[in-house]
């Protein structure tokens, strides 16, 4: 008599690991995965796993590049990768532009290392300094990115991350970015 189950149920049973592992005289549960990819303990939500969306947009609010990281990542660590992924922007005749003239950012991006990296790429950093009083004038242009993030989170599926797989969520981010660009 054949001990293996037949049909689709047998294929599914062979494809996944056993839930209980034999250990001496008893069975212990198998250790699961540590966490979903691109998630991390959120600093504002009692260390529950969460994700962050990082975005760079033009002066009108049209998103140019979007990334997904864990909830515990600093925003400034994604500044240079976002700038490097900006696609060519059509404009005047000639080569397309791949870098902006200036980058406006809030106090979370105030690090001299990243200011140097931006200047090395011939981009002017306009970043508020930590410790200075408010009234730097960046609030006048900061609302543009907040509005863009609102457009990005308009689909409920992106506002709350339901997908376990990061590649699916990332593709939905890219699709929503394309829809926003099409509407603009």
Domain count, the chain: 1
The per-residue pLDDT for range 8-57, each reduced to its tens digit, is: 555 555 555 666 667 777 766 666 545 566 777 766 666 667 788 888 88
Question: Which of 114, 117, 118, 130 shows the shortest CA–CA distance to 76?
Answer: 114
CATH code of the domain in which 76 resides: 3.30.420
Q: Is position 15 within any domain?
A: no
**What is the spatial distance between Cα 156 and Cα 111, in angstroms, rounded to a whole number?**
34
Phi, psi angles (nearest 5°) of residue 51: -130, 160
Q: Is position 168 within any domain?
A: yes
Q: Is position 173 within any domain?
A: yes
pLDDT at 1 over 70: no
Q: Is position 35 within any domain?
A: no
Token output for 21 = 């592992």
Q: Is position 139 within any domain?
A: yes
Q: Is position 26 within any domain?
A: no
The per-residue pLDDT for range 49-79, each reduced to its tens digit, is: 778 888 888 888 888 889 988 888 888 888 8
b/e per residue 31-44 (b: at least 16 CB within 10 A): eeeeebebbbebee
Lowest-confidence region among 89-93, 105-109, 148-152, 159-163: 89-93
Name the pTM for this structure: 0.68
Q: Is position 47 within any domain?
A: yes
Structural domain for 169, as ranges: 40-183
pLDDT attached to residue 159:
81
Token output for 52 = 């962050």
Q: Using an 8 Å Cβ cutoff, are 63 and 181 in contact?
A: yes
């Amino acid at each position: 008599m054949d001990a293996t189950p037949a049909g689709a149920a047998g294929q599914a049973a062979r494809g996944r690991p056993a839930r209980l592992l034999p250990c001496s005289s008893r069975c212990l549960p198998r250790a699961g995965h540590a966490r979903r990819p691109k998630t991390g303990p959120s600093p504002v939500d009692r260390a529950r796993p969460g994700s962050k969306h990082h975005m760079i947009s033009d002066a009108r609010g049209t998103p140019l590049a979007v990334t997904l990281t864990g909830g515990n990542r600093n925003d400034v660590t994604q500044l240079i990768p976002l700038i490097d992924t900006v696609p060519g922007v059509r404009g005047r005749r000639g080569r397309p532009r791949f870098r902006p003239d200036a980058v406006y950012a809030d106090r979370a991006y105030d690090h001299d290392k990243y200011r140097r990296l931006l200047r090395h790429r011939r981009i002017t950093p306009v970043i508020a300094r930590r410790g200075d009083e408010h009234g730097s004038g960046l609030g006048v242009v900061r609302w543009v990115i907040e509005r863009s993030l609102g457009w990005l989170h308009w689909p409920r599926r992106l506002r709350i991350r339901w997908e376990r797989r990061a590649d699916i969520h990332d593709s939905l981010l890219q699709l929503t970015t394309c829809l926003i660009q099409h509407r603009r």
